[in-house]
Structures are given as C-alpha cells and as structure tokens.
Structure 1
C-alpha cells in the first residue's frame, strides 16, 4: 500500500513538473517572440535614424558649403568695395576742417599731386571715446582707382617714416562680422590657450650688455643634458660670440660652459634656440641662418622673401630688430614687415631645417608701433611699450582664425628697457632682457581671450 502511494505521489510530482516546464517553455517562447519583435522594431528604427542622420549630414554639409560660398562672396564684395580705400592716422582734427584740402597737402608733402576727381570720398571714422578724447580720429580716404592708392601706400613708407602720420590699406583693417563667418574648429591643442595674465618678472641674472638675447631650448634633448643649458647673445650688432651656460645658476655667476663663434655678426635680439640649433639673422640683411651647436657649423642659410632690414621696420627701440624669430608649440615663426604690407607686421611659419617659408599671415599693426612681440599657441602678442614699467600686451592676432583683437593684459618692465621677449613652451615662461637684467615671466593660459 505504501509503495503504491509513493508511486502515485512520484507520478503526480512528475506531472506537476512537466506541466510547470511546459507552461514555462511557452512563457519563454512568448517572451522570446516579443523580444524578437522589439529587436525588429529597434532595427527598423535604427535604419530609419541612420537614414535621417545621413540626410542631416548631407544637408549640414550642403549648408556649410553654401555658407562658405556666401561668406567668400561677401568677403570678396567687401574687399572690392574697399579696394580703393586707405586709412590715414595722425592728422590733427579741427571743427569745420576741410579734409580734402588736408589730404591734398599731405600727398604734396609725399611728392604726389592729387587732382579733385582723384578723391571719391573722405571722412573721419570711429567716435571719440572717454579714454582718448584728444587723439585725432582716423581718416578713411576712398580714391578713384587702385593704382593711385598703391602709389600712395608705397610712397608713405619712406615719406612718412619719421612723421606723426601713417597710411594703411583699409582692406587689412576690415573684420567680417561673426554672424557671417562660417564656424571653424578653433580649439587649442592640449596645454594651449590664450594668455590671461602675466606674472611679475623674476630676475635670473645680470649681463654686461644693456641689450641681448637670453634663451633656452624648448625642445627636450634625447639625453636630457641640454635641457638646463642657457645661451646668451649679448648686444644687437658687432658680435658673433654666443655664450653657453650649464644652467641658470651658472649663468647668474657668469661661469660659462663654452662659447661658439658663428660666422656672421647677428642683427637685433630676436634669436631663438630650437632643437639644438640657433636661428638668427645676419646684420643688415634678410639672410636667416641655422647654426647647429653640436657640430659648430651652419646647416642652412636662406633669405626671407620680401622682408625689410637695416632698421626700416624695427621695434620701438630700433636695435636692428626688423626680423624677429619666435617659437611656440607648433614650431618656428618669423615676425617682420614688408613694403607690400606697408610695414605692418607679417608672420611667417618656417621649416625648422630648410628655413623655407611654409605659410604667411598679414596683420594690420605697424611694427614700429610695437615694443616687442612673441608667439604663443599660434597667437601673436604685441607689447605696447618697452620702456614703461607698467604696460600691457595690447594687440593680439590669432593665425588660426586670421582675426585680431585689442587687449589690455598687464605686463611689467621691471627695469624699464625691455629689448627682447621670447616664449618657451617647455618651461611655460617668457624670457626677457631688460636693461641688462635677465628675467622670466610665468603666464596663465585660458580657453578664451579675456
């Protein structure tokens, strides 16, 4: 009897289990079918979304192309309308003045006779501000033809060189409105940005000469030995001996490690050391030289096309600073001026080995107006005054966007005669030679220009 009952219970248990698993199998089958249907819906939605994204990308590309075309047309139209226009600065402003008469007199001073029909339009631009109510406003002069405008600009280079007047091409002054400009990728590379502040200078030593260059190599050497080396190039002419020091401490005690006699006398103080080589310009010339310290030899020489020299377009203090090398995270730059750009600053990126010009940018800032200048992250910074204790970085030109800004980044010339500025991206410091004192500045970088 007990065995029958046990058998019956076992059969009942098997039946219950079979029924459970059958039910569970059906439930799982239904769930799988439901999941399959959901996957199919998701796949259809995904295919639809991919199609919409492709369409959106094609539409965006088309819109961007149209925007670029429209911007290019607008830029061409703007430049065409300003192709006969130039700007004149420094002419005294009076109530009831006759601008045509003033312009005609200035042209006669330059040796050019203007006829009444040579001038299409002349007027003052820019309202006076509370900060500067005494300075005369700029004069915009539209001439009858581009040939006459070019003649005036070229003649102004020599005729107005030592006068309070200056002429500039109005096309270089024009900035297209942001609303019309296509969106560009203007992000900085890692560790880059705009200068937001410059700290007070730290004095590292004192040289025998009032002028010179104080340099370290921004590129680390393979063995690390050269990373602490310091090079001094005293004076801005009549010298061709480079002093090398093991480190800043040795330099402060004037214990040089060795010297190098380069085959040419250099011009100015705008030299750089980059990856074991010295880059300088031969005195009273536009010849750039690359000299390698390891082999004590010149590896390359090349003239800088179009550049002026011989104190035609130096910084404010002169000193044969017509051509100024600078380095940043992207390589080697040259800051100089050309007659074609009416002696305003021109920037060129050069090849570190061949010295060949890779790309050039033209600014609208007169080089003679500049206390000094240097590059950081593809951006040019211009010092307002070299001989004032409290001054500023007052002009910025971004080569990535080809746009300029007027700024007021506080800068201190501790000894009030700063004749050399160079940024070293490895140490993240600005190096300067200020009345014979060798100083460095720490800087702060920000994502946006303040």
Structure 2
C-alpha cells in the first residue's frame, strides 16, 4: 500500500519539472540610434592632451625674453655709435669705440638669429595647431549629432538659467574695497603683487647647472649699470669658484660673457670659495657662504681679495639649517645673502634660536662687521626662500610645483611681523633655489633648476 502511493507522486513530480512555464515572456528591442563611437571620443581626448603639451607658457616666455633683450640692446648700440661719432677727429675713429660697436653688432646679430629661429618655430607650431583645432572642432560637431535628446544642450541652458535666477534674486553685489597693507619703511610701500615672469632663459649653459644665483649689482661701478652677474654651482651642485659677468640682459640671454670667468681660486672647492646657491653681488664684490665654514665671504672682483665675516657662535652651517618644504630641503642653503636699497643682509639660523630665522645687517668697510641683528618667530625649515626689499624681510613657502607664496614679512624699522602677505609667484619649474630682489629695477631674480627667471615687483 505504501509503495503504490510513492510511485505516482514521483512520476507527478518529474512531469511537473519538464512542463514549460506559461508565464515566460521574451522581448526583442530594436534601437534606431547609432552606436556611440567611444573610440573616436578617446582619440579626440588624446589629441587635446597633445595639443596642450605642445602649447606651453615657456614657449611664449622664450620669445618675450628675446624681444626684451633686443629692445634693451638697440638703444645701447645707438649710444655707442653716438659716442664713436663724437670721438671722430676727422681722420681716425677711436679703436676702442670701434671694438665696442663691433661686439654690440655681433651680439645683436646672434640675438636676431635666435629670435628668427624661435619665430619660425612658433609659426610652424601655430599652423599645425590651427589645423588640429579645425579637425577637432569638426569631430566635436559630428559627435554632437549623437546627442539626439539634446541632454548636453539642456544642461548648459539650465546652468545659464540658474545663474540668471541667482543674480535676479540677490541683485548686484557691491565691490569690496581692497585691503591696504600696513605701511613699512620702504619708500615704495609694501609688496602688493609679483607679475611675470619677464625673463626666462637658460643662458649659455642649457640644463647644465641646476643650482646657482644671478642678478644685478645695486651699487655698480660707472659704466656697469646695465651689467648682470651669474654664479653657477659647478661642483656637486654645491660649490663654485668663479662669477661670470654680462654687459647686458641680451648678452646674458645669448651667452656672451664679458670678461668671462672672474676666478676666486683655481681649486673648487677650497678655502673661501662659494658654498651653496645664495650669493649676491654688491659694490663690485661677491658675498656668499664660505666653503665649509660659518662665515660670510666677500670677494672683491677688482682686487681679487677675499674678506671674511664670522657669524655668531651656534650658527648652523654645512647643510644643518636649510630652507625646506614638505617634500624635501634645498641643500647648503644655511646662509642666505640678500641685497636691497640699503646694502647687504645675511639670513641664517642658530642653535640658540631653535631654528627660527635670524636677520643681520652686513656693514661695509674693512674689516667686514656684523651690524644690527633681528630675531623672528618664523621657523626656517618651513621657508623655501627669503629676500629683502627696503629693509623688509620677506619669506616664501612652497605651495605646489607651479606656485610659490610670499607669506611672511618682518619690518626691521617697526619690528612688526606679518604672516598674511598672500602674494603668489608663478613658477616655470618646480624649485626656486635662490631668490634676490634688485632695487635697480624692482625685479626679483630667481634661479630655478638651471633657468634664470625674473619677476616684476609691484609696490603699493
């Protein structure tokens, strides 16, 4: 009896499993829309990236630097020719003046050749870029045809409507009055902005020397008012034993040095040669950190004599008190020499000051002496560079690879410190290894990963 019941139940279960379900529904969807060409969009995105990498600010600045050099060189040539004409005695021109004019013409020719080469390169780049932009525009217009529901267009219309509605609700916004910086002892006022770069060049040694310093002498000898100087760390990116001079900005750009290397010593490094990138030229003398010592050296370019100045006991040197940012430090930047309208300054730190910046005036004369000293509350390893302008110490910090910020100032007249300067510098390379202000033309001269860059300082 039990077996009879079990067998039909098993058979019934098997039949139930094999029977097709009457609730199954199959739908076939046929779309009239064309498949979106994702590969074409990806190619277009790559073309845009390549176009952006070809068009860079450096290319424009290279042309501007050459034009600026030519602009400054031509009046100098005119002045030299006028001097030559004045020296004409009716029979023979002065040989020296003829030599000067000949050198001027050679350097201007070199500058024009570089300018022509750069201009032709830019013309080719412009033509290629124009064609690429036309092609990309046509491809974008073709891709827009796939937006049959006009989703993108409606999103753009909605953004415009929301903006108009917001303006209608809130009305015109009053313009806030600019905040005025506190007055310092600078005759120009405090720094309001930094514009540029105005000059961007590798000079005569492209990419060869990553660390160095350059600029103008605020107190030059007669006839050298337009000269520039350059110190490159030629040994281990730490040491140097000579300074180079250039008779003009255009000579610096094309790499025509006059008179060439002014050598401190034949060996590099050795006693009293340059250590670290923070050197300055003032009164025809180079001021810098002496090799392997907590001393300031002054090298007279005329007499070739070196005078030293002992810094206070406990001063950090030999890369023990560097400028730094979050990703690393700039080696052998213990001593930072700076110039302004009043002369030479040295910025450093010591054990007694727990790593905070110390500022001292370097007094000219024989022997060199250390003048008044000021102590600040800003930690040196939180600073990437310092410079002086009209007796005010300014400090910068690293924001990112494109931007440096002047965030701090210390007024030596009032003793007032400020941490809210908020003036930004647009960098052409990631690192600024030295930074110095020139009171001659109110420019900042920066040495950045083998490039020489200058910025215009705007005062309030």
DSSP 3-state at the match of 1:200 = strand
Q: Find out whether 1:305 has 2:312 as its counterpart.
A: yes
1:256-405 equivalences under 5 Å are: 256-257=257-258, 258-263=260-265, 264-298=272-306, 300-306=307-313, 307-316=315-324, 317-353=329-365, 354-385=367-398, 388-405=401-418
How far apart, CA to CA, are the structure 1 residues paired with 2:449 and 2:186?
Answer: 35
For 1:342 and 1:262, locate their aligned partners in 2 and report how far apart those are by CA, in whole Å.
34
Within 5 A, what are the aligned runs for 1:30-45?
Answer: none
Contact 2:239-2:276 within 8 A present in 1 as well: no
Instruction: Give secondary structure in 1 for the equivalent of 2:252.
Output: helix
- For residue 44 of structure 2, what is the aligned residue in structure 1? none
Q: Secondary structure at the match of 1:228?
A: coil
Q: What is the aligned partner in structure 2 of residue 230 from structure 1?
A: 228
Partner of 2:14: none
TM-superposed CA distance for 1:427, in Å, is: 1.4
Residue 216 (structure 1) shift: 1.1
Deviation at 1:322, TM superposition (A): 0.2
Contact 2:185 2:392 (8 Å CA) reproduced: no
Cα distance in structure 2, aligned partners of 1:274 and 1:196: 26
User: Partner of 1:417 in structure 2?
Assistant: 431
Q: SS of 1:411's equivalent?
A: strand
Q: Residues 22-421 of structure 1 correspond to what in structure 2 (within 5 A)?
A: 188=185, 190=187, 192-206=188-202, 207=205, 208-221=208-221, 223=222, 225-235=223-233, 236-257=237-258, 258-263=260-265, 264-298=272-306, 300-306=307-313, 307-316=315-324, 317-353=329-365, 354-385=367-398, 388-407=401-420, 408-421=422-435
Pairwise CA distance, 1:187: 5.9
**Is the 8 Å Cα contact of residues 309 and 368 (structure 2) preserved in structure 1?**
yes
Alpha carbons 1:386, 1:416 under 8 Å: kept: no
User: Which runs of 5 or more residues in structure 1 are unaligned?
Assistant: 1-184
Q: Give distance in 2, aligned partners of 1:369 and 1:246.
A: 37
Instruction: Report the Cα offset of residue 337 of structure 1.
Output: 0.2
* 8 A Cα contact 1:204 1:248, kept in partner: no
CA distance in 2: counterparts of 1:276 and 1:416, whole angstroms: 31
CA shift at 1:204, angstroms? 4.1
Kept in 2, the 8 Å contact 1:349–1:359? The answer is yes
Question: TM-score, normalized by length of structure 2?
Answer: 0.54
**In 2: Cα distance, 1:386 partner to 1:286 partner:** 30
Q: Secondary structure at the match of 1:385?
A: strand
Shift >4 Å, 4+ stretches: none
Distance 1:347 1:215 in 2: 21
> 1:372 and 1:259 mapped to 2: Cα distance?
27
CA deviation map 1:317-361 (0-9, x unaligned): 322010011111122111000111101100001102233111000
- TM-score, normalising length from structure 1? 0.55
Q: Judge conservation of contact 2:186–2:392 (CA < 8 Å) in 1.
A: no
Question: 1:265: how far off?
Answer: 2.8
Q: Is the contact made by 1:277 and 1:292 (CA closer than 8 Å) also made in structure 2?
A: yes
Change in CA separation of 1:324 and 1:189 when aligned onto 2, cut-off 3 Å: closer
Cα displacement string for residues 115-149 of structure 1 (whole angstroms, at most 9, x for unaligned residues):
xxxxxxxxxxxxxxxxxxxxxxxxxxxxxxxxxxx
Question: Displacement, 1:217?
Answer: 0.2
Alpha-carbon distance between aligned partners in 2 of 1:403 and 1:374, rounded to the nearest angstrom:
16
* Structure 2 Cα separation of the partners of residues 331 and 255 of structure 1: 28
Deviation at 1:301, TM superposition (A): 1.2
CA distance in 1, matches of 2:232, 2:201: 13
- Determine helix, strand or coil for the equivalent of 1:301: strand
Q: What's the C-alpha RMSD, in Å, of the aligned pairs?
A: 1.9
Contact 1:237-1:265 at 8 Å conserved across structures = no
Shift of 1:205: 2.0
Answer yes or no: is the 8 Å Cα contact 1:286–1:308 preserved in 2: yes
Contact 2:350 2:356 in 1 (8 A): yes
Does the 8 Å CA contact 1:338/1:344 hold for their aligned counterparts? yes
Unaligned runs of 5+ in 2: 1-181, 266-271
Q: How does 1:417-436 map to 2 (within 5 A)?
A: 417-436=431-450
Q: Deviations over 1:78-101 (max 9, x none)?
A: xxxxxxxxxxxxxxxxxxxxxxxx
Aligned equivalents of 1:404 and 1:244: distance in 2?
Answer: 37
Superposed displacement of residue 313, structure 1:
0.8
Q: What is the CA–CA distance in structure 1 between the aligned matches of 2:239 and 2:185, rounded to whole Å? A: 41
Residues 186 and 413 from structure 1, CA distance in 2 versus in 1: closer, same or farther, beyond 3 angstroms? Answer: closer
